[in-house]
Amino acid sequence: MFNKLVPVSLIILLSACGATQPPPYQKDRKPEDRDQYSGTEGMTQYQKDQSYLASKELSDKCTKAKIELAIAKADKNSSEIKKQNALISSTCI
């Protein structure tokens, strides 16, 4: 009887441990707001989030440079125009 009880107890214990694990990542949050990742699925999502955030940062810099370029052209500020054109070249894909 003891031999049958140990495997059943072990299965119950292991299944109970799985029930308390946190989700792999915070699916209900935007990538900018996620701060908890666990397990392989969480790490995979972390890498996707980091890639997205880097791409978004470049896109935001590109947009800002285009706006600043328009302002510099309106002001006829040649040094600022050169600066913004350089930023656009390096950030806009």
Structural domain spans, the chain: 58-93
38-75 residue pLDDT tens: 999 999 999 999 999 999 999 999 999 999 999 999 99
- 61 Cβ contact partners less than 8 Å away, ≥ 6 residues apart: 87, 91
Residues present in the chain in total:
93
Task: Show the tokens assigned to 32.
Answer: 């900018």
Q: For 1-93, where are the alpha helices, taking DSSP H only?
A: 2-19, 39-75, 78-91
pTM over 0.75: no
